[in-house]
Amino acid sequence: MAGLMNLLDESHVLCRSTAQSQKNIFELVARGIAATHGELDEQFLFKKFLAREKLGSTGLGEGVAVPHSRIEGLEYPIAYLLTLAEPAPYDAPDNQDVDILFALLVPEESTQLHLDLLSEIATMLSDSAYCERLRGATDQGELLALAKHSLAA
């Protein structure tokens, strides 16, 4: 999981944010990514997340979602970890609201990398005790440390 660990730093985590809807969540993630990757437009990313969601929910269940998209012209993968102070509606398969989101963007042509990173994220977030620790993080530094600790394991 070393590759995934290298994708996160404090500018790629948002702890205990507020969102009222799935669209609002996508706005937060798109804004966060665009703020640190000036070559990516916030509205473009928002629309990519919405378009991917129309293909099927990226909710994993148990309050966890992994919105993701392949982006033409992107040169490297980008990850963004977000926790919410209160769960928000997401249209997840188990009908539960979500409060942990691990967003992923990968280059359009990186199909295998995309699948590998999604698998790593899903494995990491399938550990309910680990998710509870993420939910307990009170700031971005703590959230990042928890994420990196799990990813290094």
Domain ranges of the chain: 2-148
> According to the model, what pLDDT value does residue 58 have?
97
* 3-state DSSP assignment of residue 44: helix
Task: Give the Cα separation of 26 and 35 in Å (integer).
Answer: 14
- pTM of the shown model: 0.94
Q: Provide mean pLDDT across the span 60-64.
A: 97
Task: Give the Cα separation of 132 and 99 in Å (integer).
Answer: 11
Whether residue 65 is predicted with pLDDT greater than 90 in this model: the reply is yes
pLDDT, tens digit (0-9, with 9 covering 90-100), for 103-145: 999 999 999 999 999 999 999 999 999 999 999 999 999 999 9
Q: Which of 12, 37, 68, 114 is catalytic?
A: 68
Whether residue 153 is predicted with pLDDT greater than 70 in this model: the reply is no
Q: How many H helices and E strands in the chain? A: 6, 6
Contact 92, 61 (CB under 8 A): yes
Task: Give the Cα separation of 106 and 149 in Å (integer).
Answer: 23
2-148, superfamily in CATH? Mannitol-specific EII; Chain A (3.40.930.10)
Which residues, including other chains, have CB under 8 Å from residue 63's CB and lie 6 or more apart?
A: 87, 96, 97, 98, 99, 100, 131
How far lies 146's CA from each of 77, 84, 115, in Å? 21, 16, 23
Task: Verify whether residue 68 is a known catalytic residue.
Answer: yes
